[in-house]
Structure formats: C-alpha cells, structure tokens
Amino acid sequence: MFASLAQIGRLPWSYDRVWRVYQKAAKAAGIGGLGTHSLRHTYRSWLDSVGTPVGVQQKLIRHRDIRTTMRYGDAFTSDMAEAHGKIVGPALNGTETARKRM
C-alpha cells in the first residue's frame, strides 16, 4: 500500500516513515491522535461497502483468522449516511424544524 520509491516499489516505506506522514496529515486536518492501524479498519469498511466477499477481505488485510476480519466492523452504507444526515444535520444547525421533530 505504501510502496517505497527508493526500492522501486518492491518494498514498503518503513513504519516510522508512514507513521510520521500520517500524524502530520492528521494534525493538519485538525484530527490528531490517530494511529496507522485505523487505516486497516477503514480499508475493511471500504471493501465491505463495495460488496467484497469477507474471505477476499481477509486475504487483502492479511488476517490469519477470518474472525479477526469480522471484528473490524461494518461498512457505513449510503442508507445509513442518509438517515444519519437527517438527524445530525438539523441537530447541529439548531434549526426550529429539528426541535419540533424531537
């Protein structure tokens, strides 16, 4: 996933290099405190959201046991995003419509 240009893509960047770049990006985005392991969870969610079979996900994430892959959570579907937006959008905006619905 993080192919090293110095190794002509044959070897990945070192963990330290990836971690430093990731931390810098997280800080710039105002997120902070993220670890690189969260990328694995995100990747699994993306794979799940496009219908990738769990067995393929397991191989791509390189888990020995499929139960580990299954514990990585579910995808955030478009239906879930729509429902979430209907609640959170008005609540955060503090609109009168949101208050009447609650």
Helices 54-61, 37-49: crossing angle, 10 deg rounding: 150
What is the number of alpha carbons within 13 Å of residue 15 lying toward its C-beta?
A: 3
Which residue ranges make up each domain of the chain? 1-35, 36-101
Q: Supply the pLDDT for residue 55.
A: 93
Q: Supply the pLDDT for residue 8.
A: 64
Encode pLDDT of 20-39 as tens digits. 888 888 888 888 777 778 77
